Structure formats: C-alpha cells, structure tokens
Structure 1
Amino acid sequence: MCGILCYLGKRQALPILLEGLRKLEYRGYDSSGLALAENGKVFCQRAVGKIQALENSLAGVQWKGSSGIAHTRWATHGKPSEANAHPHADCRERIFVIHNGIIENFQSLKKTLLERGHQFRSETDSEVLVHLIEEHYQGDLVEAVRDALGLVEGTYGIGVLSAENPQEIVVARKGSPLILGIGEDEIFAASDVSALVSHTKEVIYLQDEDVAVIHPGGYELSNLHSDSILRQTQKVDWDVAAAEKQGFSHFMLKEIFEQPEAVENAMRGRLIEEEGISKLGGLNGVHDEFLEMERLIILSMGTSYYAALLGRYIIETCTDIAVEVDLASEFRYRKLNMKEGTTVLAISQSGETADTLAAVQEAKRKGALVLGLVNVVGSSIARETDAGVYNHAGPEIGVASTKAFISQLTILYLMTLALARHQQMSLSEGQAFIAGLKLIPDKIRRILDSTSKIEAIARRYHGYKNFLYLGRKFNYPIALEGALKLKEISYIHAEGYAAGEMKHGPIALIDKNFPSVCLAPRDSAYEKMVSNIQEVKARNGPVLCIGTEGDTELQKICDDFIEVPATDEILQPLLMVVPLQLLAYYIARENGCEIDQPRNLAKSVTVE
C-alpha cells in the first residue's frame, strides 16, 4: 500500500526523493515525509495530505545531503496526521525508519518498550520498529535491524537511516515489495520500479527476509541470519514515458486508450494460427500438468476477481474442466480438498496482493499445482508460483484498473484456447477463435473513437446517487466490474447483478431516480435481457443500454444507447467493458473527483 524510497549516491537526495514520491503517490496519499542526512545530522520533514503538501512545507529548504529515505502513506493504524506520518524517529532522533506493511504484534512490543522507557509519538504500528532498532543498537545498524526484525510478526518493507553513519542505509523486506535500483555510483531502493526507471533500469527484486546494506561502494545482501546471499540483477523492460500521462488529463484515461495495445501485447508471440492453438511460454515447465488438469481454482481480489469469474464462464464453455472462483481473502478459511488433478491460478496485477499471495502459499502447502497471472515481473506471486504468464501490459498507474483487466481477460482466453484444443475444439474452431481475438484491438479502437457520445451521456447521468448494472452469462462479470469502476472513482453507490436476480430483491429499488445500465448485446441471452429492460422501464427506471451496433430495436426501448461492434458471443466482454470504463471516468470527472487517486484506496493492496 504505502510507497517507500531510499537514495544514496553523489547527487543531492532531496529532489530525487520528491520526484520518486510523486511516482509512488498512487500507492498511498494520506501523508508523506522524508529524512535526509547531512553533516552528521538527519533532517526530517512530514506533512498531511498529498505530496504537494510536503513540497510546500519544504519551500526554501536547502538540504544538500546525498542520502535519504522517503515515504508516502496509506493509513492502516492511526488516522492521517503529521505525528502518524513517516519517517518515525527513535527517542534521541538519531535513527529514522520508513515502513510499508503491518506489524501484527505491535501492541505487545510497544508495551515492553514503554516499560523500558521508550517514548512513542504516534498511533502507528510502524513506530515500534524504530524503537526496537534503538533498543538493540550497539554501533552496528544492520545487526540492530536484524535483531529487531527477529521479534516482529507481520509484514514489512523498511528503510533505515542513522545519523551515526549517514552513508549507510539498511533496507529489508518480508511480505511487502522492495526493489534495489543499481545506478552509476548510486543505489536506490523502492517499493515500485516506477520510482526508479528515470534513473536506472538495472534492478534487484528482494525476496522475503532479505536485508540489504546500501553504501557508497554499492550494496551487500544477506538474510536475517547474517548469511550472505546473491540475487540476480534484472533489466526493466519499459521506459519512463510509459509511466507518464503523455498529454492525457489522467492516467486512467490514458490506460483506457492503451487497451488495444494491451490486448495485442498479451497475444504477441502466443498464437499459432495455422494450428489454431495458443502457446504460453511461461507454462512450458508444467505443460502436461496444465493440459491434463481436471479441476481449476482461480484466486483473486477486486477487479481481478471479476476477470476470474469470466474465466470460469469461458473455460467451462469450451472445455470439460470444472472451474471454481474464490476470493483469495476467504480461500484459507475453507476446508480445502486438493484432489489430484487440481490446479490453482492466482490473478493479480501487482503480483503483491497480500490476500492472494497468502492463498497461493496455502494452495502450495496442500500440494496443488499453482500458476500465476501477473503484470509485474519479479513480483512475489510470480516467484512463489510454480509457473505463470505475464500480462506485458506495462505500468498501470491509475488506481482503478483498466488495461490490466482487459489484458487478464485476453490471457484467460489464450489459456482457454490451449485447454480446449487439447480437448474437443477442432482445428477450424481454434482458427476461428484466433481470428476473432485478433480483430478485438481494432474494434476497441472504434469504441474509443466514440468517446464524445459517452461523455455526453455521462453529463446526463452524473447527478444520480445510485446505479444498477445488469448482465447475463458472459456479461454478468462485466456488469460487476462496471459497477465497481463507478464506485471506485466517483463514490456513487452502484451494484452489479446477474439480470435474472433482479426480481429477487433489487427491483424494489427501481424508480425514476435509480438508473440501470444494461448489457444487452445480440447474444444467446438477448431476449431475456430485453425482458429485464422492459421490467425496469415499467417501473419508470431510466435505462442506459450497451448493445450491438445497429440494434435499432434495443435503441427504441432504452433512454440512452451505447453501441459496440459485433463479435463472437464469447469475446463480447472484451468490448462491453470499455464503454463502462469510459462512463465511470466521465461521470467522476463531471463530479470533480480525484480519478487517479480516489479516496481511501491504493493501487497495490499489500496488507490483509
């Protein structure tokens, strides 16, 4: 959730840290702060609110130190306040700590530290870390950090700076992402590569219980037991421009417009048209087990969960495989029956979602083959799973996921094709499936060419306080996703329902002030959707329909109509979701909402 950044090199640290915090702000924006070492002292500044508030508080400051740590916070323990902002200092204000994660046993640790005379200034769980380090400090900072972390239960990604040795920063991780950036005569550490790519593309993804000491000569890696370790340096495969708005007013809008490329990138090199098959290189090591699975459990959270729901529909439609979908946060509470032939697929944009990672670990304990579908190379889930597939969607900065979702869907279609061709799907059917998929990017571009109409519709609907989203079959998960998008960025109450459920309760809500967004393409559920629309209209409910272009009959019974190009029924969700994303975006913009950084949310949920 929170964003952390450390720098040690020859340049002035202050502008580098502020620039990095701006890149990390989507991870949390309740408060922020930084600490810089200069001339044997550590200067610390914190502020409530977004990074701009911190920058304003630093106006006129001339700190020239070349080492420092910085943090942007998403509150877990303690309300947003300057006292609860990071960095936290020890009693003598000589040691400073930034932390991403949750210390689960902080109450008992704090009680012990208070009894030993330590003075706490915040309500946070994180502050116990700096006092634990102070308690164990005997002149060796890294040993004090190891001793402190040995007492901690929970998750952490930390950076530690001491006035005693300002040319040394200690970082460590367990359950929260942390990446070293290797520059020329300078070292970085951050919770996301977006803060690093403007300075270096050479990175090391730290693993759980790794400890790194950063100093002018480079870095040293070890574990909590003081054993030296080696980690491979990797190269980031996207550039700075990918993490910039490039003329768009918001990252979310930019990422919606990047979706044709996201679909193309997900398919690139993975389709063999003459054979009517897909080939996913990341699954080569488990190829036979993947194709022979009898049962699939898909684990995910949030938007990824709705991708998983659609995955169930399309895999069960095309194969004989039984598919279950679980919220990762609830998976561990069930009595699991991992019979032979069971495969688990974890879906996560960041690859760091705490609940999904914990569910992956539980599935592995039960002996299942565990696969991953993630966007971030080197992420925890990518390392923890037996094999997997990368989205290659590039960085997604907007908190509300768009292009990562459509990329996840695309890869689920590719997985379905691989499994189906191994079963009953014929060569010609496989070739037709591929042909339909390859037309999707240009059809999305056609939808994006009609944004002005969706923008006008948003102006008519932005004043409503409640929405109902209805869909059937393949478009039921898309209705759920459309409602989530509206909730996330406009703060308008919206509920997604299977249209057949409407008469079992939700229809009681319908009146002239409660619009319904109905997904009604020309498919096998079309007639039933039209009946549902008529039921809403009979109760004076406004209806906005998303339907197939040229459907004049549907237009007649709707108050407003957004058309999408025709495609195979099973592929319709790839098109139907785009107008819903745009509708949510334009409604939020009309209402003056913080679209890229909606309240109370953060991009990567790294705490449970």
Structure 2
Amino acid sequence: MCGIFAYLNYNVKRDRRFILEILFNGLRRLEYRGYDSAGISIDSSSSSDPNGQLSFSPLVFRQEGNIDSLVKSVYKDVASIKLNLEELFCVHAGIAHTRWATHGEPSPKNSHPQTSGAGNEFLVVHNGVITNYEVLKETLTRHGFNFESETDTEVIPKLAKYVFDKATEEGDQSVTFSLVVLEVMRHLEGAYALIFKSHHYPNELIACKRGSPLLLGVKELSEDMHSGAPFLDLKFISENRHPKELFLSSDASAIVEHTKKVLVIEDGEVVHLKDGGVSILKFENEKGICGNALSRPSSVQRALSFLEMEVEQINKGKYEHYMQKEIHEQPESLTTTMRGRLKRGGSTKAKTVLLGGLKDHIKSIRRSRRIVFIGCGTSYNAALAARPIIEELSGVPVTMEIASDLVDRQGPIYREDTAVFVSQSGETADTLLALDYALENGALCVGITNTVGSAIARNTHCGIHINAGCEIGVASTKAYTSQIVVMAMLALAIGDDAISSQARREAIIDGLFDLPNKVREVLKLDQEMKELAKLLIAEQSLLVFGRGYNFATALEGALKVKEVSLMHSEGMLAGEMKHGPLALVDENLPIIVIATRDACFSKQQSVIQQLHARKGRLIVVCSKGDAAAVCPGGSSSCRVIEVPQVEDCLQPVVNIIPLQLLAYHLTVLRGYNVDQPRNLAKSVTTQ
C-alpha cells in the first residue's frame, strides 16, 4: 500500500533543487495509492574522507500528512541548515516514500526512510509487512541497537548495519552493497519491496522485492542504436557509462512521464544501480555467511520492456477527480477491452471470440472438474457477476472463493480444477498467496488482470489482459466493468464448441458490440444521480438488494458507496430478504432494488411489493419503460432510475454505473476525498 520512488542521475548534472522536485513529483504520482505520511532522503554537500575520497552524508526528511506538508517542511529545513539548492551533482541517488500506517500511528518517527541509527549509515524505504520483525528486533536489541520507531521496517536498516559491521570486523573489507542486502533478505519473512541507500556505498541504490510490486525505469540521455526498440538488453545498459537517469517505483504511473523503458523486478531479484550500470542478482535463501565472507550469488540477464501507458492516462483532463474521469471513460475502456477479440463472422461464418492468451489451454478448461474463481473485493464481485453465464455456456460447475478465506482454511484445490485469479493490479497479496496454493496443488491457473507484467500475469499458466487502461482512483470502476466483459468473453470461448448454444452466444456477441453505446446512454444519468445524492447526503445507512446476475451489482454498488462516501451500505441477496434483513425496513431507511428485465424480474417485483407494504423508502433501478411495473403505488411511492436493457449477462455492466455515479456524488457532497478514501489504498499488497 505504501508508495516507493527513487531517482539516480549518472553523468548528467542535476542541481539539488531539480533532484528534490523529481522526488516530490514521483510521490505525487503515487498519492492515489493512499498514504498518511511521507519522507525523502538526499545527500548533503560533499566532503573528503581521510583517504581523500569524496563522501556524502544522507539527509532524511519525514513528515506526517500530505506531500505538500512534506515539501513545505523540507524547504523550511533546507533553509535553516543553509543547504545550497543550486549545488550540482553529476551522480546522485535519492529515495522517497509515502506511507500507509500498519505498525505505528502516522508520525515523523514512523515515516520512511527508516534509518540504521545516528549517521544514517543505511536507509530503507519499504512497501509490505515484515512478519518476523519482533524476533529480529529482539535480536538486534541484544546486540546494542536502539529502536526509535514503532514500525516493522526499522529492523531492516539496522540489520543491514549489523551485517556490514560483522563482515568488516571479520576482515571482509570488500563486501559489496548487494551482498549486504542479500544477507538481510535471508533473515526477512513476509512481503516487501525495498530500496536501500547507504553512505558506505555513495551514489548506489539497491532494490529488491518479494510479493510487492517494483519497477526500474531507464532513460538514456545519449543517442544509441537501440533507442527506438521496444526491448533493450539490460546488459547493454550495464556495460556503458552514457549519461542516464534511473528510476525505481512501486507503480508505473511515477515512471511513465520520464521513460517507457522499464524492467519489472521479479521476486527474489536484487537490482544494483552502480556506476551507471544495472546488475541483477538472484537471491538464494540457503546461502548466507560462508566462512569469513558473504557468499557470491549468481547474476541474471534480463531485457527491458516497453511500457504500454501514456502520460495522459495519469492526468485528470477535464474532470475534477480521477474517479469521475474513470467512470466516464468506461465506453472507451470497454471498447479497448473487446478490440480484436470479437469476430462478427459473415454469411457463412459464426460470430466468435478470440482470446489469444488462452488458445493453448481452452480445451483443458473445458475438461475441468470445476472452475474456481478467486479474488478480493471488487474483483470478487466481478467474477460473481460472470458466474451464471460461465456455468450456462461451459456446463462446468463454478465455485467462488475469497482469496484470504481460501488460504486461511486451506480449501480443497485439485489437479482437475481450473483456478481463475481476478485482480485489477495483479499484485494483490491475498490473491497471490492463493495462487501459490493453487499452483502447489497442481491446478491449471488462469490470470485476469489489468497490469501487464504483474505477478499474477507472470505466474499463472495463461490469462487475459483486461486492457481497461490505467486506473488511478482507489475505488475501481472501469476495471470492474471490463473484468465482467472479459469473463463473459471467457464464457463464450469455453462454450464455443457447443452447437446448442450458438444462437445464445451470437446474441451475447451482438450485445457486446453495442455495450459501449449503452454505457454512454446510462452515463447521461449523471445529473439525476447527483440529485439523488443530495437527498441521501445526511443518511447513515443504505441497503441494496439484487438477485441473479445482479446480486453482484448489489454487492459492488454498496461497496462503492461504503468505501468512498463513508456511509454504511450493505449489498444483499434479495432472496434472503425475509431471512432477517426485512426487520430493518421502515419509512426512513433508503433501499435500492435492482429490478431490470431478466429471469428474476418477477421475483424482484414481489420483493418490491413486500418492501412497499412495510413503507420502505424505495429507489428502483429498472429497464426503460418498466417504471409502472416496478412502482406498486405509482411514481410517488418510489424513485425510479431507468437504464437501457441489454443481454441479461451484460446487464450488470449497465446497472452498476448509476451506483458508481451515486457513490461519487455522495462523496463530493459530503466533503470527502473521493480519490483517496479514508484508511484505504489502491493496491492492497500487504496482508
């Protein structure tokens, strides 16, 4: 959940002010992930050590609150110590961090970078959780280390100092930065992405990860034959001393404005930035201190890839908030998701779906004993919305698992199962743990993510990229609707060999082609939903009832209202209404009922009648022209929101949009930050 950013300039002169602004801007690009404090580290003015070598003492600035608070604090502190902002550096390594508190309340002492102690010999920024930090803290305390923060992170720089001091005491004067970090990793348990900085290794940075995202961006400032190539051999980078800028970040959004050449760092890799080069070492847990020296690890050769993202995607454009922008981008995100995957056929050809990422595995999926969908939050809801059509077209039993619960209870996963992992980021910690569990049990693992190169995309056997585009708002909107569409296409692909369902499949394909236009139509309800939000602004609770395809709509609509507007809301299966929830109904509690035309329509009419009989305060989402059919006593008895009718399996895509708009307007009207909901972060990469 924390944001990590680092900047290293090599053989290119940058003044301290420029370096500070690069770091601050990198943090601003990560703000959407959620945070409560921030910090940076840069070098002080250079001085000579006893051997005549130039050395730099790292300065650390940390502040509770937003990035602007940090910026003001840094410039105030810089002025007080009379630090020259115009001083030029041909080489400089700076690190920065936004923290989302897990261990210890938001405060400067708990902010990152965390330090090894006086002198800032080793500094670390960290995303993740160290699960064995208490044991490490006790050990380090016995060796004379004093701890100042309440964080789990502080053990890491102190452990680095301990490893370094022990190696030098034992005569290993040539111990490298990467070997120190490898030894530190050997003692860490949990999930992490780390960047190390040390005055013992000036102008060097080390990055490593296990279970949390981290990318390296490379910007060459000289012309070379590879500059236009989509892939670049990293060996070429490591063997030249051309002027360059190197960036490390937990998110591509902080890198894309500088370069599109990136390396997605994999679990267990240690990336060492030194002398303009990039070297990658592989962490091997069984290795450690061997004799009087740290063991030498094996190196890894990798290629840079080309980032498929534009700077415009991370700007708000004409919109006031990212969530608003992303709600209104859904016609385009759906079109992009389907582009090249739907085939209209012709006079002699059937309409089909082509999913290249599954072509070698589709027969195995059809033969599965069952299909298990695994996800968290919004991704789970998207899979739930798609479950009925996958069951219908595949004929394979479909079960649903919340990732954390599957791992907690070690639920049965078999070799004959297909396990489908749904995640917007592709880095969700609970979903990754469930993936490891499914792989261990021999299941065929399919990934559905919005992030190329993510951990789920890399570690599953096959998968589908959602193509929804960059999603900045914490509350997922366009990724949710694109996930449903991708899973509907998955159902079509699995069922493509059944002649009996051909007419049904072709009707769905026609519906998919027209879906972006239907979404544009429903987005015209924006002002109507704003007026509804004004009526609900002072309410404390909201119930949402759905059934069939739209049980997921009820869950997701309630989740959106809950997470951004901070109003208690609950999505409920309408079939369970009489088994408890009916006790809540009175003339004050607002209740939304999803009652569009599908197989459950008559049952939802009955639900509305029962709620009306108990003077329920009703808001009904129905198909166009059905207002009279869903309002028992006419328009005065309930508020009706009419939406376009589409194929039943695609209706959840249309039906969720009014609820997304309602959540957005409720949040703005209630005065909350819609893009950074309280206590929430975009990428839930810690457990």
Q: TM-score, normalised by structure 2?
A: 0.86
C-alpha contact 1:4 1:70 (8 A) present in aligned 2: yes
Q: Does 1:84 align with 2:110?
A: yes
Equivalent residue in structure 2 for 1:575, among 645, 654, 670: 654
Equivalent residue in structure 2 for 1:116, among 134, 143, 146: 143
User: What's 2:7 paired with?
Assistant: 7
C-alpha contact 1:291 1:418 (8 A) present in aligned 2: no
Q: Which deviates further from its counterpart, 288-297 or 232-241? A: 288-297
- SS across alignment from 1:176: coil
**Partner letter of residue 57 of structure 2?**
K
Q: Which deviates further from its counterpart, 498-507 or 278-287? A: 278-287
C-alpha contact 2:423 2:431 (8 A) present in aligned 1: yes
Equivalent residue in structure 1 for 2:245, among 171, 183, 186: 186
Once the two structures are superposed, the pairs formed by residues 247-396 of structure 1 within 5 Å of their partners are 247-274=318-345, 275-396=350-471
C-alpha contact 2:366 2:394 (8 A) present in aligned 1: no
Deviation for aligned residue 1:163: 2.0
Residue-by-residue CA offset, 1:324-358 (whole Å, 9 max, x unaligned): 00000011234544445310000000000001001
C-alpha separation in 1, matches of 2:555 and 2:461: 30
C-alpha separation in 2, matches of 1:215 and 1:257: 44
Q: Does 1:551 align with 2:626?
A: yes
Deviation for aligned residue 1:451: 0.8
Q: Does 1:565 align with 2:644?
A: yes
User: What's 1:55 paired with?
Assistant: 71
- SS across alignment from 2:299: coil
C-alpha contact 1:26 1:398 (8 A) present in aligned 2: yes
C-alpha contact 1:455 1:586 (8 A) present in aligned 2: yes
C-alpha separation in 1, matches of 2:204 and 2:601: 65
Once the two structures are superposed, the pairs formed by residues 66-105 of structure 1 within 5 Å of their partners are 66-92=92-118, 93-105=120-132
Q: Does 1:154 align with 2:190?
A: yes
C-alpha contact 1:468 1:495 (8 A) present in aligned 2: yes
Q: Does 1:478 align with 2:553?
A: yes
User: What's 1:597 paired with?
Assistant: 676
**Partner letter of residue 562 of structure 1?**
I
User: What's 2:261 paired with?
Assistant: 202
Once the two structures are superposed, the pairs formed by residues 24-35 of structure 1 within 5 Å of their partners are 24-35=30-41
Q: Which deviates further from its counterpart, 385-394 or 539-548? A: 539-548
User: What's 1:128 paired with?
Assistant: 155
C-alpha contact 1:393 1:407 (8 A) present in aligned 2: yes
C-alpha separation in 1, matches of 2:618 and 2:490: 35
Please tell me the root mean square deviation across aligned C-alpha atoms, in Å: 1.5
Deviation for aligned residue 1:424: 4.7
C-alpha separation in 2, matches of 1:307 and 1:573: 9
Once the two structures are superposed, the pairs formed by residues 161-172 of structure 1 within 5 Å of their partners are 161-172=197-208
Deviation for aligned residue 1:317: 2.5
**Partner letter of residue 69 of structure 1?**
I
C-alpha contact 1:487 1:494 (8 A) present in aligned 2: yes
Q: Which deviates further from its counterpart, 456-465 or 160-169? A: 160-169
**Partner letter of residue 300 of structure 2?**
I
C-alpha contact 1:27 1:603 (8 A) present in aligned 2: yes
User: What's 1:233 paired with?
Assistant: 304
- SS across alignment from 1:572: helix
C-alpha separation in 2, matches of 1:490 and 1:318: 38
**Partner letter of residue 8 of structure 1?**
L
C-alpha contact 2:627 2:642 (8 A) present in aligned 1: no
Could you tell me which runs of 5 or more consecutive residues in structure 2 were left unpaired when the two chains were aligned.
Answer: 47-55, 79-83, 169-174, 221-243, 285-296
* Distance change >3 Å, CA 425–CA 485, structure 1 → 2: farther
Deviation for aligned residue 1:121: 0.9
* Distance change >3 Å, CA 502–CA 336, structure 1 → 2: closer
- SS across alignment from 2:542: strand
**Partner letter of residue 171 of structure 1?**
A
User: What's 1:416 paired with?
Assistant: 491
C-alpha contact 1:102 1:607 (8 A) present in aligned 2: yes
**Partner letter of residue 643 of structure 2?**
V
C-alpha separation in 2, matches of 1:212 and 1:341: 38
Q: Which deviates further from its counterpart, 347-356 or 454-463? A: 454-463
**Partner letter of residue 130 of structure 2?**
I
C-alpha contact 1:467 1:493 (8 A) present in aligned 2: yes
Deviation for aligned residue 1:560: 1.4
Q: Does 1:220 align with 2:279?
A: yes
C-alpha separation in 2, matches of 1:488 and 1:425: 43
User: What's 1:140 paired with?
Assistant: 176
C-alpha contact 1:37 1:166 (8 A) present in aligned 2: no
CA radius of gyration, larger in: 2
Residue-by-residue CA offset, 1:388-416 (whole Å, 9 max, x unaligned): 01011111110000000001000000001
Deviation for aligned residue 1:539: 2.3
Deviation for aligned residue 1:216: 4.1
C-alpha separation in 1, matches of 2:413 and 2:674: 41
C-alpha separation in 2, matches of 1:259 and 1:83: 42
Q: Which deviates further from its counterpart, 522-531 or 347-356? A: 522-531
Deviation for aligned residue 1:140: 2.8
Q: Does 1:400 align with 2:475?
A: yes
**Partner letter of residue 333 of structure 2?**
A
* Distance change >3 Å, CA 425–CA 577, structure 1 → 2: farther
Q: TM-score, normalised by structure 1?
A: 0.97
- SS across alignment from 2:272: strand
C-alpha contact 2:2 2:34 (8 A) present in aligned 1: yes
C-alpha separation in 2, matches of 1:241 and 1:408: 23
Identity of aligned pairs, percent? Answer: 41
C-alpha contact 1:186 1:218 (8 A) present in aligned 2: no
C-alpha separation in 2, matches of 1:201 and 1:299: 32
**Partner letter of residue 551 of structure 2?**
Y
- SS across alignment from 1:166: coil
- SS across alignment from 2:187: coil
Deviation for aligned residue 1:27: 2.0
